[in-house]
Amino acid sequence: MKIKRYTAPSMRIALDQVRIEQGADAVILSSRRIPEGIEVIAAVDYDETLMAAARPQPPMPTPTAAPAQAPAVARKPAPEAPRPATPTVAHPAHPAVPSARHAAVESRPVAASVRDPAVAAIGRAVQGLRQLLETELAGLKSHNRRLREPQEARVHDALAALDIAPDIAAKLSALTPRAPRLRDAAHLPAALLAAHMPVVADRTLSEGGIVAVVGPTGVGKTTTIAKLAARWSLQHGSADLALISTDDYRIGAREQLSTYARILGAPMYAANSGKELADVLARLRAKKLILIDTAGMGPRDSRLRGQLAALRAGAPQARVLLALPAQGERHALEEIATSFARLAPVACILTKVDEAASLGAAISTAMRHQLPIAYLCNGQRVPEDLHGAATRRVWLVRAAMLLKDREARNTKKPKAANRQSEGQAHA
């Protein structure tokens, strides 16, 4: 453990010195005001066990039956060594670390000192002080940034109001131009979001291929497959189209896909394993577009790993599209993207856009995982409610803003109603 004393005119400058010399893992052991300003004592590689073992213990009691053998001069404490005028290493407000001679006298085991409640309390207090100081320092930096870059701060706040995740909002607001060309600076957050939102013009409906749609249960994978199949049939006919279902878990899943296939006049096949999937694909080599509807499983389902392995083994050439529910919560969307990342999806499909109260979480997930948005699904109609995201970039940003405006209006209405009721009661 390395302990060092810092003096500075202010706490902020002292903390900057600690970070520069000892890094972000430094622990603040104590701080106090001195004539020169602030004194901070910090340590790196802080070890509670070492500090506990270093505490001087009271001398062992001498049995009353045995006479004292040491002369009086031996009981006289040794004079304390003078401290240097400007020490480079100062110990914290804990008891001083014993010298080698005193350490040899220590007889209490280290394990006993670790269980000392006082030592544990000191450690917790030190960690709490550190977190408090870091929070205050972060607040000061944020305040200073707002003073230096007020336009950037306004963009960050506007993006946060759209439920854009803090890390994504910070990255986008950092791109704020010094002299924006927009006449109305209020449009700048939407412009930045639209410019940097990842979208892609998917080639499925133009070139075909083998495409698998994956995602958890209930996100609308089967309906999305039907929309893609119907759109292909309208453009190219159904002679070169085939559908495959690997979902043998959800009741009625294959019947639903089979109904769509019968309406479109396309064949539908079932595959219950990676080998069966590979065999079916081998028989369908002449088809231009093969859509694979996969089993829906949650990110924490123990069977998910096996399903993903079967798809990877049976259809290694398939292009994978991840279905993300637009109305999902931020943590749930993050789990979905992380769990299905092992399939390396080339893009994502935002489903149930019409059911979302906010689009910020879904947009943030796509940006964080660098998942280009290929399609938007905003209803159950087949195939009308399927849209290419490449031509709907601005529409998606406007939809996100309209949803938050609607939420803000709904929040204000109850307050106005309450004020009206209070006025009537008063009258």
**Ranges of H-type helices in 291-329:** 304-314
Q: How confident is the model at residue 72 (pLDDT cuts 50, 70, 90)?
A: very low
Rounded Cα distance between 323 and 215, Å, is 5
* Residue 251 confidence (pLDDT): 60
123 to each of 53, 134, 176, 399, how far by Cα in Å? Answer: 14, 17, 43, 50
pLDDT in tens, 210-231: 999 999 888 999 999 999 999 9
Q: How confident is the model at residue 128 (pLDDT cuts 50, 70, 90)?
A: confident
pLDDT in tens, 1-13: 678 888 888 888 8
* Residue 83 confidence (pLDDT): 43
Rounded Cα distance between 23 and 44, Å, is 8
pLDDT in tens, 406-416: 877 776 665 55
**Which residue in 36, 164, 48, 182 sits closest to 114, CA to CA?**
48
Among the ranges given (79-93, 275-289, 296-310, 407-421), the one the predictor scored with the smallest mean pLDDT = 79-93
Answer for the pair 385, 372: CB distance below 8 angstroms, yes or no.
no
Asked if residue 132 has pLDDT above 60, the reply is yes
* Residue 111 confidence (pLDDT): 39
Rounded Cα distance between 12 and 4, Å, is 17
Residue 163 per-residue DSSP state = T
Rounded Cα distance between 324 and 353, Å, is 10
Residue 424 CB neighbour total at 10 angstroms: 8
Answer for the pair 225, 264: CB distance below 8 angstroms, yes or no.
no
Rounded Cα distance between 53 and 119, Å, is 10
* Residue 5 confidence (pLDDT): 87
pLDDT in tens, 98-125: 333 333 333 344 333 445 676 777 777 7
Asked if residue 360 has pLDDT above 90, the reply is yes
**Which residue in 232, 238, 283, 292 sits closest to 262, CA to CA?**
238
Q: How confident is the model at residue 62 (pLDDT cuts 50, 70, 90)?
A: very low
